[in-house]
Amino acid sequence: MKDLQNIVLDLIEATKKHEQYRNKECINMIASEGTKSPAVCQMLDISHDLSTRYAEGDNNTEGHVKKRYYQGQKYSSQIEDHTTDAIKSLFHTTWADIRLISGTHANTATFKGLATASKNNKMIVTPLSCGAHISHDYTGLSGSILCLSNINHVYNINEFNIDTDKTAHVIRATKPGIVTFGGSLFLFPHPIKELKETCNEVGAYIAYDAAHVLGLIAGGQFQDPLREGADFITASTHKTFPGPQGGVIMGIPDTPTKEKAVRKIQHAVFPLTASSTHLGRLPALGIACLEMKLFGQELATQIVKNAQTAGQYLYENDVKVVAEHKGFTKSHQIALDIKTYGGGNKIAQDLEDANIILNKNLLPYDDQNDKENPTGLRVGFQDVTRHGMKEGDIKHLCDLMMDIIKGKRTPEQVKIDVMALKKEFSQVKYGFQSVEEALKYIKS
C-alpha cells in the first residue's frame, strides 16, 4: 500500500488528467451526461460555504421552506425558495421539491410517497430491457429497496413504445397504485394521454420519469407530461437539463388526492431519505433554469434535429439505426444495432480508443440473459449540440464514427481527427459565459 501522501498525489494527478481528457480531448455522446455553462460552473464555485451546510426540515405544499431544525438559515432558506420558484416558473408548476440529490433519489421519494398515498404497492413500469431505468425495476430500487411489486407495461418492440391497448387491459386487471412512464433508452414520447383515463378509473397515480428528457421538455420539444395527464414528474437536473448534478420532483397538486400525495412524497424526502440536501448546487440550478427559459427552445430543437440527422445519415450509410420507420427518434438519442460490425462491446471500446465516448446498450430484442453482449449502442446528442454542432458537423462526426464502426481506419488514426474536432467545438453555447453576463442580461 502506498503512503497517504502519494495516494493524494496520484489522486490530484488523476483528477487533472480526467478534466483534460474528458473535457478537452474527447467528444461525449453518452446520452445521460449534460453540459454546464461557464456561468453555472462559476455559480458552483461561489457557493462553497453553502455546500457545507445542513437544512433539514419540512416544506409546504408550494415547495417552500416551512420549518428548519437548525439556526443560521436566513439566506439558505431564501436560496431554497428562490430555486424552487425558478424551476416552478420554468415548468409552470405550483409545487416542486429540489432537495433531491439525484434522479434516483427523486424516484425513491416519489414511488414511496405515492405507494403510501394510494395504499397500494403495485406499480406498472416499462420493462428494463425496453428502456426503463434500474430504479423502476424489481431488481433495483423499486423492488429490492421499496418492496413494490412490479407489473410491466406491454411493450411493442417494433414501435419502440408502450402498447396502449394491451397496457390498458393490464391496468384494469391489476389495479396498480402507480403507473410510470419515461426511461433511459427513450426515443419516443410515451402514451400518457392515451392511458390517463384508464389510470383514473383504477385510481392510480401517474409518475413520469423525465431524467433524460427534462431539457427537451423545458425547450418545448418533447411531450409535456403534466399537461398530458401525469400527476408528478421526477428528473435529474444534469442530463439534457444542463444544471449541476441533482434531482427534482414537480407537480400541480390541484386536487385533495394530489395534495395528499405531495405530503407523502415530502415525508419520503425528509425525514425518510434525506439528511444533507447538498445546498451548494441550488444557485447554479437557478441559473440553468434561466438559461433554459432563454435558450432552451433553440437548444432542444437543435439537439433533436442533430439526433435525427445522425440517424438518417448513418442509416443511409449501412449502419442499422433502430426505428427507421418512425424517423429514428424524437428525443436527444438514437440507438444503433451494430451486431454485424462486432457488437456493442467491441465498437464502444474502439470508439473510446478514438476518443468518442458513448455506451453500449442492450436492445429490446437482445437476449436478456446475455447482458454482457449487447448488440446496441446508445448515442446522445445533447453535449455536442451544446458545444455548437449543427447538421453538417454531425455528419462529419458520423463519418469519423463510421471509420471506426466499419474498421476503415484504426482508432489511433481517427483519434487525431476527433481531437481536432473537439478543439473546434470547445465553447459551451446556448448559455451565459459568466454570472456577470447573466446579471447584465437580467438588468438590461
Q: Which residues bind ligand PLP (CB under 6 A)?
A: 32, 102-104, 107, 133, 135, 182-184, 209, 211-212, 236, 247
* Residue-wise DSSP of 275-329: S---GGGHHHHHHHHHHHHHHHHHHHHHHHHHHHHHHHHHHHTT-EES-GGGTS-
Task: Name the residue nearer to ligand PLP (CB basis): 32 or 302.
Answer: 32
> Cis (ω within 30 of 0) for the bond into 189?
no
Compute the least distance from the CB of residue 176 to ligand PLP, in Å.
Answer: 18
CB of 139 to ligand PLP, least distance (A): 15
Signed CA dihedral, 208, 141, 31, 368: sign only: negative
339-342 long-range contacts (CB < 8 A, ≥24 apart) are 339/375, 341/405, 341/406, 341/407
Looking at 175-224, list the stretches that DSSP marks H as alpha helix, in order from N- to C-terminal side. 192-202, 214-218
To the nearest whole angstrom, how small is the minimum distance from the Cβ of residue 135 to ligand PLP? Answer: 5
Q: How far is the CB of 359 from ligand PLP (least distance, A)?
A: 12
> Nearer to ligand PLP by C-beta: 209 or 366?
209
Nearer to ligand PLP, 240 or 312 (CB): 240
| Least separation in angstroms between CB 92 and ligand PLP | 22
**Rounded to the nearest whole angstrom, what is the least distance from the CB of residue 274 to ligand PLP in the complex?**
13
Q: Which is nearer to ligand PLP, 249 or 435 (CB)?
A: 249
Q: Which is nearer to ligand PLP, 128 or 435 (CB)?
A: 128
The closest residue (CB) to ligand PLP is 103
* Closer residue to ligand PLP in complex, CB, 192/435: 192
Rounded to an integer, what distance in angstroms lies between the CA atom of residue 421 and that of residue 348?
19
Taken in order 188, 338, 307, 288, is the CA torsion positive or negative? positive
For residue 236, the minimal CB distance to ligand PLP (Å) is: 3
Distances 24 to 18, 100, 185, 420, 433 between C-alpha atoms, Å: 9, 30, 27, 10, 17
Burial of 324 from C-beta contacts in 10 A (0-12 / 13-18 / 19+): exposed
Nearer CB in complex with ligand PLP: 226/398: 226
